[in-house]
C-alpha cells in the first residue's frame, strides 16, 4: 500500500469515527429525526452539487427507485437507530457496534445469497459476538434497547450490501451515494413538521455541518478514491480502524472513560471483522 493510500485510509477512519461524536452531540438537542434528516440533506445536496460541477451523471430518472430503496435501508433506518442509541450510549460503544456490519453482511450473504461460510468467516463472527459482549456488557444491562438499536443500524448496513449485490448491481457507487442520501432525506423530511427540532446553538450547528459535509460528502469522495486505488476489499479495511478512533474521540472531546473492557472488546471486534473480511 502506498503512503498516500494509507494516509487516506487513516483519514477516512478518523472522519467516520468522528461521526458518532457529532451524533452524540446533536441528537440530544435536535432530536433523533432532525439529526438524521438534516445530515442526509446536507451530505446528499453537497454531493449532488459536486457531481453537477464535475459533470458526473447520476442517472436520476433511471435509478431513482433504487436510490429510494437503498436510501431508506442504508440511510434513514440506520441514522435513526444510531441517533436513538446516541441518547444513551458512549461514542466508543457506538463505533464498536458499527464495526459489526461486515459480520451481519457475511451472515446474510450466506443465508440470502447462499455464499459459503469459510472457517475464518465463521470464526470471525463468533469472535465478533464475544467482542460486542465484552465492550457492551456494563451498558447492555441497563441500556439494552439502545445497544439493540446500534446493532440494528449495523444490521441495516450489512443487509444493504446483500441487497445491492442481489438487485442493484448495475447502479454506480457514486450515484448511489448522492441518490440514497437525498431520497432518504426527502422521505424523512415530513416528519420534521410533526416533530419539529429545537433551534440549535453554535456547537450543535457546527456538529451537524461536520456530520453532513465532512462525514458525508468528503468521506464518500475519499472512499471512492480508495476503491479506485485499492479495490472494494482493500477499501473495507477502514472498518478495522473506525472503532479505535471512535473510542479516542469520545475520550478526548467528551471525557468518556477508556476502560479496559472497552479497549479489549474493541480490539476483539476488530479481529473478528478482519477475519470476516479476509478473502
Size (the chain), residues:
279
Asked if 73 contacts 203 with a C-beta cutoff of 8 angstroms, the reply is no
Average pLDDT rounded to a whole number, residues 41-67: 93
Average pLDDT rounded to a whole number, residues 72-95: 94
Average pLDDT rounded to a whole number, residues 223-228: 81
pLDDT band at 193 (very low <50, low <70, confident <90, very high): confident
Query: Model confidence over 117-138: pLDDT tens digits?
Result: 788 888 888 888 888 888 776 6
**Average per-residue pLDDT for the chain:** 88
Q: Is 165 exposed, middle or buried (0-12, 13-18, 19+ CB in 10 A)?
A: middle
Asked if 32 contacts 84 with a C-beta cutoff of 8 angstroms, the reply is yes
Secondary structure (H, E, C), 129-198: HHHHHHHHHHHHCCCHHHHHHHHHHHHHHHHHHHHHHHHCCCCCHHHHHHHHHHHHHHHHHHHHHHCCCC
pLDDT of residue 129: 84
pLDDT band at 140 (very low <50, low <70, confident <90, very high): low
The predicted model scores a pTM of 0.91
pLDDT of residue 225: 83
First CA to last CA across the chain, in angstroms? 17
Asked if 108 contacts 58 with a C-beta cutoff of 8 angstroms, the reply is no
CB atoms within 10 A of CB 100: 28
Asked if the model's pLDDT at residue 217 lies above 80, the reply is yes
pLDDT of residue 238: 86
Nearest by Cα to 85 from 37, 156, 160, 24: 24
Amino acid at each position: 500500500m502506498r503512503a498516500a493510500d494509507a494516509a487516506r485510509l487513516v483519514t477516512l477512519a478518523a472522519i467516520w469515527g468522528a461521526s458518532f461524536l457529532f451524533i452524540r452531540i446533536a441528537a440530544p438537542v435536535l432530536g433523533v429525526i432532525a439529526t438524521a434528516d438534516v445530515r442526509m440533506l446536507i451530505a446528499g445536496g453537497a454531493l449532488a452539487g459536486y457531481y453537477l460541477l464535475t459533470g458526473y451523471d447520476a442517472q436520476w430518472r433511471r435509478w431513482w427507485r433504487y436510490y429510494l430503496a437503498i436510501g431508506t435501508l442504508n440511510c434513514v433506518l440506520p441514522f435513526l437507530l444510531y441517533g436513538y442509541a446516541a441518547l444513551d450510549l458512549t461514542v466508543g460503544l457506538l463505533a464498536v457496534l458499527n464495526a459489526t456490519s461486515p459480520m451481519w453482511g457475511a451472515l446474510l450473504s450466506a443465508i440470502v445469497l447462499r455464499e459459503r461460510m469459510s472457517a475464518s468467516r465463521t470464526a470471525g463472527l463468533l469472535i465478533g459476538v464475544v467482542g460486542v459482549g465484552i465492550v457492551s456488557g456494563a451498558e447492555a444491562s441497563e441500556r439494552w434497547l439502545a445497544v439493540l438499536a446500534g446493532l440494528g443500524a449495523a444490521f441495516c448496513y450489512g443487509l444493504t450490501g446483500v441487497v445491492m449485490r442481489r438487485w442493484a448491481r448495475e447502479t454506480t457507487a457514486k450515484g448511489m451515494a448522492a441518490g440514497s442520501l437525498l431520497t432518504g432525506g426527502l422521505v424523512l423530511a415530513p416528519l420534521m413538521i410533526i416533530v419539529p427540532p429545537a433551534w440549535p446553538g453554535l456547537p450543535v450547528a457546527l456538529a451537524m455541518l461536520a456530520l453532513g459535509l465532512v462525514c458525508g460528502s468528503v468521506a464518500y469522495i475519499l472512499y471512492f478514491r480508495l476503491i479506485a486505488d485499492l479495490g472494494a476489499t482493500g477499501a473495507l479495511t477502514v472498518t478495522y480502524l473506525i472503532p479505535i478512533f471512535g473510542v479516542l474521540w469520545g475520550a478526548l472531546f467528551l471525557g468518556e472513560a477508556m476502560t479496559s473492557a472497552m479497549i479489549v472488546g474493541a480490539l476483539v471486534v476488530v479481529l473478528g471483522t478482519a477475519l470476516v473480511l479476509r478473502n
